[in-house]
Amino acid sequence: MLKFSSLLSSLLLLVPPAMVNAQASASPQTISIQSRALPKGFRSSSSPRRRALDPVNVPLDDFFLGTDLQWFGNITVGTPPQILSVVFDTGSVTLEVTSDLCERCPQKKFNTTASTTFVDRNVTQTISFDTGGGVDPVIDNDYTLTLRSAKDTIGLVGGFQAKDMDVFLIVNQTEKFDIDPYSGIQGLGASAQGLFEALINQGLPSLFSMYLTPKSVGNAELTLGGIDSSKFTGELIYGSLPPDPSGEPPRLWLLQSPGISVNGMTNDLLNTSRGIIFDSGTSNVVFSTNITEAIYSMISSDIKPNSAEPGTYGIACDKVNSLPATIDLTFTSQNGTAFNLTIPSSELNVGPFSGNSSECQTLINAMDGVEIVGGSLMKHYYTVYDIGKQRLGFAKAVNVSDTTPSAVTSGNGTSAGSAQGGEQGKPSGALSLRSSASTFALLMAVAFALVQM
């Protein structure tokens, strides 16, 4: 995330206390869901009114440096439209793009002077990140952006456009961001804002879906307003977002987990309830230190903290690929049955540490106060983000078959909250630079710190 981790912690405190750090009940019985034949194409929310907009597919590219780091696609900014690539990030809600106001930025820039609809709001603020866009931790504020608030027309390539949208222009950035091949971040948090809110207001169903594939598979996509059933097998299982005690819509894509197991085993610490955030802008996994070390202790005593990069852990590269390291995260479906989401052993190794090619970094980074899963899990699942029904859906992604024999399981072997009848429904290669460990995006803080100014 970023240096607004205190904000994130406060948001997590909104989860009812009874749901946090409570001892979990008995471990769920897990039975693999049976696959079923699905009609190819989109399924979206049925509605008594006629939809003005059909679902839209946005192709995604994979930023790969020894491991999958980010998935990004195109939007348009300004009039006439300028095409820019952005990470579609479920860990934030705002839009940030590199601009011509940033002389040192190497990415493709939004030309403010070429847009006839550009409005400069003349508010500037510097944001320092706690984590960046890859798998390494931030050290000494080496991920910092200076942002300037503005308004302009935002849209999809060849399609919908929305006027007077908030956009935050990157006017300066630290060197760590220079390697990123994309121009910014489009937030897709659990409370619809900006472009997606405008799409919903024009009649697009209030959900989107992600097919985030490994580089070796390709053809990743974001589907706005629908579900592409050709991208998964079996039934979708849905879990409900915890209600916000304030009565406001949830701000985070968070599910409550009653427990974690490693290679089929757990312990008292792991078998405790916690909220876990699903963040497409996070490359790997970020857990609190005690949870991180409890998981690693059940994989291998040879996995040790890396003092050169605090928050990371590693093991000799000649050992890591042989370790069994299947991590199951348990959740509760909307019909009350337990289901597991699995991070397979193949995700344990995210590549050698820079400066030490014989030591490989492992997938979980430690940062107290947050529990986040990103690409290490999400590229094995087709995920549905349903804002209207405040729920998250999962099914096994097609063409991703490495070590996920029980990719999605439920307690009674039947799908939970399936989409029907109106339901929306590394190994090798030393890395010269791998950005940092969690979402690249500006979470909710940018919206609160800048939009309201």
Whether the Cβ atoms of residue 253 and residue 282 lie closer than 8 Å to each other: no
Going by C-alpha positions, the residue among 163, 149, 153 that lies closest to residue 446 is: 149
Helices and strands in the chain: count of H runs, count of E runs: 6, 29
Q: Is residue 318 annotated as part of the catalytic site, yes or no?
A: no
Which string of b and e fits 4-25 if b means at least 16 CB within 10 Å?
bbebbeebbebbeeeeeeeebe
Active site annotation includes 244: no
Contact 39, 425 (CB under 8 A): no
Q: Decide if 186 contacts 439 (C-beta within 8 A).
A: no
Q: Contact 169/101 with Cβ under 8 angstroms?
A: yes
Consecutive H or E run containing 165: strand 161-173
Spot the catalytic one: 89, 166, 228, 244: 89
Q: Where is 168: in which H helix or E strand? A: strand 161-173
What residues does 342 pair with on adjacent strands? Answer: 328
Query: Of the candidates 435, 441, 392, which has an alpha carbon nearest to the alpha carbon of residue 87?
Result: 441
How many CB atoms are closer than 10 A to CB 360? Answer: 25
Report yes or no: 230 and 41 within 8 Å, Cβ to Cβ. yes
Amino acid sitting at position 361: Q
Kindly name the residue from 68, 180, 279, 328 that is annotated as catalytic: 279
- Looking at residue 411, the DSSP 8-state letter turns out to be T
| Active-site residue set | 89, 279
